[in-house]
Structure 1
Amino acid sequence: MRQEEKKTIQAAIIGALLFLFIQIFHTSLNRLDNWDIISALYLIVGCCTVAFGFAIFAQGWLFFSSRLSKGRLYVAALFGGICIIDFLHTLGLVAFPLISSFITPEESRWLLTFSRLSSGLGILFIFSREDKPVTVTDKRNVFRIAFMLIVLFIALFVFIHSAVPELFTKPWMSTLKQFVDLAVLFVYLAGVAVIVFPGDNEKSASLLVIIRALIFFSLGQAFFMTPISGGNIDDLFGMLCSGIAYYQLLTGVYRLTIEEPFYEKQLAEERINYLAYHDDLTGLPNRRRLTQRVEEMIDAGETDTKDQFSALTIMNINHFKNINDSLGHYAGDLLLKLVSERLSNEARPSEELYSMGADEFAFLMTERANLGECLARATELLRLFEAPVNIESGEYHISLSLGMSIYPGDGETAEHLIQNADTAVHNAKEQGVEIRRYIPAMQMKAKERLKLENDLRRALERDEFYLLYQPKVQLETEEIVGMEALLRWNHPKRGIVSPNEFIPLAEDSGLIVPIGEWVLKTACLQNKQWQLAGYQPICVSINLSMRQFLQPNLAGKIHSILTDIGLDPCYVDLEITESMTLDKETAFDQLKRLKELGVFISIDDFGTGYSSLHYLKNMPIDRLKIDRSFVSEVMEDSNNAAIVSTITSMAHHLKLKVTAEGVENKEQLQFLREQHCHEAQGFLFSKPIQAAEFETSFLKKAPLGASL
């Protein structure tokens, strides 16, 4: 339980015990009833109460005017008027000279009743409503209304005092006062209920202080209501409780309208500062903080000895985009948290981990004796991910690429060191190695990569892409049964750019989607033109990228393209990779929509990705394509031969067709025939060739078999 909650409960218990104690020893206390002493004490306590009331008014009305709120403004106006009435009541009850001739003791008690009723109703109204900011104009309006009400009340009191001087001494007025006093007590208790009971949210410390004020207001009202002969001791304790209540209210309103908003603003600023230098997902310091830290390290290094190394490594999760796209962003975020936790747990006192955003992390190592120690430590970090990670109840093996820059040597500023380490990690990914230390030649290659990406963005509109076609042969009859459309780029200055160079760039930049759509349209249009020219129809195979495959409207786009061209879907074979089926539910739904179009679906490069018999059994696919890496060494490597044989046998049992890629000699062809492989493609039959050559070499001359 919080400290303020304990104080509130203690205040309620102490107040109840005090009231009970006073009532038990009421007779004994009445014997000490000396009006001269009690009136002096009452005057002191009453003046203190008035001072607290004026402080509430001053705090809300005169100070911190730039932080006006309805709560502050209304409380200030309320107690500005109430403290005037309380002051008149106090002077009237103790028969203060000059005042006693205008205010009798009975009238003074009615003033107190009216004051308490106003405070109870006012608190109930103010704290039952949502607090909102107000303007200086609102402040003037409230001031005018409060001033008019005070003047009206005093005028009414003077009129009653003059016109009906005996009114407050009549017997029925005493009964009425008892009912009004009881109503005041219920109003205070209702105020407590309004603050305590709405919602299950935890109450702020300031509201708990205001609850304590209402408890003491209620206790004071109970004392004022106690029937006594003489009425002096209970009045004194009632005013004392009222003074405590005023003080609690002064504290509570200050904390609610001044202190808490200040701390909330302070916490918000601290949160903003935290987010400025930390990653929101992993909680790790971010790139901005890394830059600061490296600058501090460099500044310190200017006066320290130069015989120690500091290494900045940047690590990038390999194929993170595939995982994020296949399993969803939630799984991707979970993976980033798991990677950060594994690296954080491994960090030593002289090492610091940072998040660089997306799937990149930076690891700063200081106080290293030599370069070899830095590289050895980097290798240890990568070995952490030999164990799989659990994502959504499944185990996945991931790997990281690491780039390293060394201080001193690889940069004189923080930005240079970070940029060079980033260049090194991208070079490691391109070269397919785990670790790269920065060398200046990498910077030149990175600039070339950036320029190539810019050229790639304009290649479509400049009509620089073209397609090559490689035939697929049925092994049993050696007939041409299909062809694969392969994308090529003829750069105006660099000439033919390797697909291995520009396809990853297109995938990373998102350009693969419009490029893939162009390939689909061009290949289908060429196939339709050959059919219109009278050649026997065959199937064209077209590769889909991950980004294409995950488009929600992919089936609709393909249907629209085929309809516009007039090509029957049975002459289209869409090739996907195993990695696209990581998220089996999404992949199954997409494949089902594609199959409903009437197209064929093949799994390309089978055996090199996330192989799973489960998806082979359930997903609507037609063909497996054995990756060329297995076929090329099938005669030299018994393991590759076993893999090809197993894939072929499995496909037969699942009633799937099998196509072998990369067939280059007759020995490989004979082996594939012995395994009852259905089809093959490779340089043994033809390299990828342009449409005109394909038409001359295969469509006009070769005997043609049936399509798929």
Structure 2
Amino acid sequence: MNNYSYLYRKNIVYIAIGLIALTLLSEFIFSKENSISNNIIFSILIVLLLYLVICVKSIFTGTINTLRDTEQRLKESEKEKHFMSYYDGVTRLPNERYIVEQINNTWQNGTSQIALVVFEVDRLTHLKSSLGSKYTNRILELIVERLQCRFPNYIVGKIQEDQFVILLENKNEKETFQRLCKQLIDLIEKPFNIQQLTLNMKVNVGVAYSPEDAKTAEDFLKYAQFAMYEARRVPEQYRLFEPTMACSREERLLLEKDLYKALENNELFLQYQPQLKLKTKHDFSMEALVRWNHPEKGLIPPGDFIPLAEESGTIVPIGKWVLETACRQTKELQETIGQQVTVAVNLSLRQLYHENFVKVVSSILEETQLPPKSLQLEITESMTMDKNFLLPILHDLKALGVTIALDDFGKGYSSISYLKDLPIDCLKIDREFVNNMSEDEREPLVDLIISMAKHLNLNVVAEGVETMEQFNYLLNSDCDAMQGYLISKPILFETIINNCRCLNKKDLHCDLQSEYYSLIKQIFNRKKEQSHK
């Protein structure tokens, strides 16, 4: 605007000077005097007029060029605006708005048989918070390269920070899409090598069909996402949309909303399940398990609300509360019985990726005055996929004096070749292997895990022990401890502490293994337990 005003003012000045020069020139033309001075002035005026004509022409040319440049910048700005509206800035793939419009255009053109594949790259947000956007952006670029190489004829888009979409023709061949989902999972789960780091990603895939599943593009995309969310719960890692998923997802969203208030409203509480030691008579150990007593729905199973907490991020404050409460209550139990008690607390991946987690653990131990050796932190096999990130954290935790257990061992995530590199103290055998045991027949996988653990100088705890056959099998093996409903169901801390107060101090010292088993039964006796209010 200032440039145009400047050009306008300059033209006015030149035109005014030109008019004055023309007026003077006309006077000299009609003047009858023919002197040398008049001729000189006349020549000067002619030159001045020619100069003014050239200047005005130059100004108008400059104005035209400026207008052209402005028009070009406007076009580029419109292109940039269009790109920002319809494409992702990092991957340069079409975004959600583009995909929705493309679906609508496809339907308007008479093609209704289409399918939408939505998949999420799990742990991408965790990696961003721990390693920074430089690494995650590079992972996204590599994912795009793989997708464009593998699916060159399909529309591939990015609809959220960690979600991609593929739009393709639906020929009602669901087996084809199942095959495509498996290929997609294999494609993305190949390791990514970035600056000497090897990163492994996990993928969940959902598929929706048109016109069977949805009548609007927004619903079409939403239902494919619902199927993707359900894929988190199944080992195949992919799901085809079913109408029941919409209702299920709505219920989960309402439950997630209530979960945000659960801590604030004191709806969460802990129960403890004992770990029966098979090699000692003087060691008390238990695992802390979080429970949710919903004000309207009653007790919510952990399998329902823990995944919600993971998805929403509330697992971080919940996990901190669990750790804090377990340490405080264990310290109280130690003071009551005058003996060492160890408590095991489960960790989530989000907690580990949260900044200053080691400092949080250190502060809790200091505040509760619980000896570090009395705390065991449990990680799952799936957390060990990114060893380069995990190892420094585990070493820092070990430096505090706490012990580390690998929970649900045997599900197949860990590489046995680097198991020896993990700074862990204990392996917990997954309950699925324990369920297959009988007293008469050998269970080779359980024997293998126990043997391997012993060669690595690790303790072994078997989970899910429910029958005497399983008990006897483990008793005759080299297993160190067991937990399960046969020993005790999880019970409230108030019940445990009250049971301990009813015991004589001398009853806490056992000379025989059978006395120790009996004592554990007495401490974790639910007869006096009241339902949690």
Indicate the TM-score class for this superposition, using the shorter chain for normalisation: 0.7 to 0.9
The answer as to 2:18 corresponding to 1:73 is: no
1:298 counterpart residue number:
107
Shift of 1:504: 0.6
Q: Which amino acid aligns with 1:508?
A: E
Aligned to 1:436: 239
Matched, 1:542 2:345: yes
Distance 1:354 1:378, change over 3 A: farther
State yes or no: 1:691 paired with 2:493: yes
Determine which of 111, 116, 138 is the counterpart of 1:334: 138
2:461–2:483 CA contact under 8 A, matched in 1: yes
- 1:276 equivalent in alignment to 2:85: yes
Larger Rg: 1
| Partner SS, residue 611 of structure 1 | coil
CA pair 627-268 structure 1, distance change in 2 beyond 3 A:
same
Q: Tell me: CA distance 1:500–1:101, structure 2 relative to 1, closer, same or farther (3 Å).
A: farther
Distance of 1:576 and 1:599 partners within structure 2: 13
By how many angstroms is 1:88 displaced?
Answer: 7.1
Matched, 1:377 2:177: yes
User: Against the structure 1 CA distance between its residues 252 and 275, is the aligned structure 2 distance closer, same or farther, given a 3 Å change threshold?
Assistant: same
Alignment partner of 2:365 out of 549, 558, 562: 562
* Mapped pair 1:263 → 2:63: no
Instruction: Return the offset for 1:418.
Output: 2.1
Q: SS at the partner of 2:290?
A: strand
How much has 1:546 moved relative to structure 2? 1.9
Q: Cα–Cα, structure 1 residues 607 and 436, in superposed 2: closer, same or farther, change >3 Å?
A: closer
1:343 to 147, 155, 161: 147
How far the C-alpha of 1:353 sits from its partner, in A, is: 2.3
Task: Confirm or deny that 1:660 pairs with 2:462.
Answer: yes
Q: Distance in 2 between matches of 1:97 and 1:674?
A: 133
- Tell me which amino acid in the other structure corresponds to 1:524: C
Q: Distance in 2 between matches of 1:571 and 1:418?
A: 49
Give the conservation status (yes or no) of the 8 Å contact 2:11–2:59.
no
Matched-pair contact (CA < 8 Å) for 1:386–1:397: no
The 8 Å contact of residues 181 and 205 in structure 2, kept in 1 or not, is answered as no
Superposition pairs for residues 360-399 of structure 1, below 5 Å? Answer: 360-366=163-169, 368-369=170-171, 371=172, 373-387=173-187, 388-392=190-194, 393=196, 398=201
Q: Which residue of 2 aligns with 1:288?
A: 97
CA deviation after TM superposition for structure 1 residue 489, in Å:
1.2
Superposition CA RMSD, Å: 4.1
CA contact (8 A) 1:471 1:480 kept: no
C-alpha distance in 1 between matches for 2:508 and 2:35: 127
State the SS of the aligned residue for 2:432: helix
Calculate the TM-score normalised by the size of structure 2.
0.78
**CA distance 1:88–1:575, shift in 2 (3 Å):** same
Could you say if the C-alpha distance between residues 563 and 398 of structure 1 is closer, same or farther in structure 2, counting changes exceeding 3 Å? closer
SS at match of 1:412: coil
**SS state at 1:490 partner:** strand
**Residues 259 and 102 (structure 1 numbering): CA distance in 2 closer, same or farther, change over 3 Å?**
farther
- Do the aligned partners of residues 574 and 395 (structure 1) sit closer, same or farther apart at CA in structure 2, a change above 3 Å counting? closer
Q: For the structure 1 residues 384 and 440, does the alpha-carbon distance in structure 2 shift closer, same or farther, using more than 3 Å as the test? A: closer
CA distance in 2, matches of 1:637, 1:397: 35
What are the Cα deviations for residues 194-234 of structure 1, in whole angstroms up to 9, with x where unaligned? Answer: xxxxxxxxxxxxxxxxxxxxxxxxxxxxxxxxxxxxxxxxx
SS at match of 1:376: helix
C-alpha deviation, 1:586, in angstroms? 4.3
Structure 1 residue 648, shift from structure 2 partner: 0.9
Whether the aligned pair in 2 keeps the contact of 1:662 and 1:683 (CA below 8 Å) is yes
Cα distance between partner residues in 1 of 2:36 and 2:68: 45
8 Å CA contact retained: 2:420, 2:456: no
Task: List runs of 5+ in structure 1 lacking aligned partners.
Answer: 1-66, 116-238
* Alpha carbons 2:450, 2:478 under 8 Å: kept: no
Query: Judging changes above 3 Å, is the alpha-carbon distance between structure 1 residues 517 and 584 closer, same or farther for their aligned structure 2 residues?
Result: same
Q: Residue 244 of structure 2 aligns to a residue in which SS?
A: helix
| Structure 2 residue aligned with 1:451 | 254
Judge conservation of contact 1:405–1:437 (CA < 8 Å) in 2. yes
Q: Is the 8 A contact 1:467 1:488 kept in 2?
A: yes
2:285 is the counterpart of 1:482? yes
Q: How does 1:538-687 map to 2 (within 5 A)?
A: 538-584=341-387, 586-608=389-411, 610-611=413-414, 620-633=423-436, 640-641=445-446, 643-652=448-457, 656-665=458-467, 668=470, 672=474, 676-687=478-489
Secondary structure, aligned partner of 2:286: strand
Partners of 2:124 and 2:113 in 1: CA distance: 31
Alignment correspondent of 2:531: none
State the AA in 1 paired with 2:483.
Q
| Counterpart contact for 1:469–1:483, Cα < 8 Å | yes
User: What letter corresponds to residue 6 of structure 2 in structure 1?
Assistant: L
Q: Distance in 1 between matches of 2:35 and 2:428?
A: 109
- The residue aligned with 2:330 is 527
Judged with a 3 Å threshold, the aligned counterparts in structure 2 of structure 1 residues 358 and 601 are, in CA distance, closer, same or farther, namely same
Q: Distance in 2 between matches of 1:704 and 1:100?
A: 138
C-alpha distance in 2 between matches for 1:626 and 1:439: 35
Which residue type is aligned with residue 446 of structure 1?
R
Which amino acid letter does the alignment assign opposite residue 68 of structure 1?
N
1:471 aligns with 2:274: yes
CA distance in 2, matches of 1:335, 1:634: 43
Percent identical across equivalent pairs? 33
Question: How many angstroms apart in 2 are the aligned matches of 1:468 and 1:670?
Answer: 26
Distance in structure 1 (CA, Å) of the matches to 2:362 and 2:432: 34
Task: Assess if the C-alpha contact under 8 Å between 1:474 and 1:678 holds in 2.
Answer: yes
Which structure has more RCO (C-alpha within 8 Å, separation ≥ 6)? 2
Alignment map for 1:229-248 (pairs within 5 Å): none
Residue 308 of structure 2 is aligned to residue 505 of structure 1 = yes
Distance in structure 1 (CA, Å) of the matches to 2:142 and 2:290: 38
Query: Which residue pairs with 2:116 in the alignment?
Result: 312
- Structure with the higher helix share, 1 or 2: 1
Specify whether residues 561 and 542 from structure 1 end up closer, same or farther in structure 2 by C-alpha distance, changes over 3 A only.
same
Evaluate the alpha carbon distance shift between residue 640 and residue 76 of structure 1 in structure 2; reply closer, same or farther with a 3 A threshold. farther
Paired AA for residue 296 in structure 1: N
Give 5+ residue unaligned stretches, structure 2.
517-533
SS in 2 for 1:472: strand
Residues 41-100 of structure 1, C-alpha deviation per residue, up to 9 Å, x if partnerless? Answer: xxxxxxxxxxxxxxxxxxxxxxxxxx2239x82897499559959x979x99xx988798
Give the superposition deviation at 1:505: 0.2
Q: Structure 2 vs 1, CA of residues 434 and 389 (structure 1 numbering), >3 Å: closer, same or farther?
A: same
User: What is the rounded CA distance, in whole Å, between the counterparts of 1:100 and 1:412 in structure 2?
Assistant: 94
Check 1:109–1:601 CA distance in 2 against 1; reply closer, same or farther (3 A cut).
farther
* 1-structure distance, mates of 2:166, 2:83: 20
- Choose between structure 1 and 2: higher strand proportion: 2
Residue number in structure 2 paired with 1:50: none
CA contact 2:120–2:204 (8 Å) conserved in 1: yes
> Structure 1: how far apart are the matches of 2:130 and 2:451?
27
> In structure 1, how many angstroms separate the alpha carbons of the residues matched to 2:399 and 2:305?
33
Shift of 1:494: 2.4
Who is 1:58 aligned against?
Answer: none
Report if aligned partners of 1:382, 1:399 keep a CA contact under 8 Å in 2. Answer: no
Q: Name the aligned partner's letter for residue 457 of structure 1.
A: Y
The alpha-carbon distance between structure 1 residues 75 and 602, as it changes in their structure 2 partners (threshold 3 A), is farther
The normalised TM-score by structure 1 is 0.60
Q: How far is 1:410 from its partner? A: 2.0
